Chain A
């Protein structure tokens, strides 16, 4: 079982819609969770971090964490074509010494 699992997609949404990206993790001891965005041919960039159960909002982005169910999600409101990218979920291991990325979900926002 992989430490972090994501649907690879592709996920397509029309411009202005809400994009919902999901991630599950296997290590129940994990405490810190991250969403990175990676444009094609570019390096990842951090867009959100979340550490507590519930929702965390930052502009058009909302991260949601449910530790009991071991899932993390990212909602993108009012999706824009510039949001088209691969979104990577990542977690810190419970030892704090390793970092696991999912394989990413490819998002396309259609104008």
Chain B
């Protein structure tokens, strides 16, 4: 079956603009996760959804970051007023059940802020 998909695959934006990144999880997966990976850095956990709810938003780097999930499926990560330090690969993952087990990752969105 289809894996996790993310769009766009690449995004170049000017500093100060808003961007939306989209994630389509594997059909039937109830949990969805967002991470970012900066060059030379590890994977940084941002947020996870169980259904449409996010139990803990403290991993979001700043209040410029927000995420939502509707219908228990597609999720959008929004970054407002982008900064150069936001440049990274944003990865989405999903799993069939709650709790970070059996995560399947999407191909990522490479965000470049100029």
Residues of A at the B interface (CB closer than 8 Å) are: 32, 34, 43-46, 49, 88, 90, 92, 95-104
Range class of the B interface residue count: 20 to 34
B12 at the interface (CB under 8 A from A): no
Residues of the A chain whose Cβ atoms lie less than 8 Å from the Cβ of B45 = 98-101
Is the CB–CB distance between B42 and A43 below 8 Å?
no
B55 CB-CB contact with A under 8 Å: yes
Query: How far is it, in angstroms, between the C-alpha of A96 and the C-alpha of B99 when the chains are bound?
Result: 7
User: Assuming A46-B102, A88-B43, A92-B99, is B107 touching A99 (CB within 8 A)?
Assistant: no
Residue of A nearest to B43 (CB): A101
Contact A32–B42 (Cβ < 8 Å): no
Q: How many A-B residue pairs have CB under 8 A?
A: 44
What are 11 A-B contacts defined by CB distance under 8 Å? Answer: A32-B99, A43-B106, A43-B107, A44-B105, A92-B100, A97-B48, A97-B55, A101-B42, A101-B44, A102-B42, A103-B42
Task: For B41, give the chain A residue with the smallest CB separation.
Answer: A103
A42 to chain B, nearest CB (A): 8
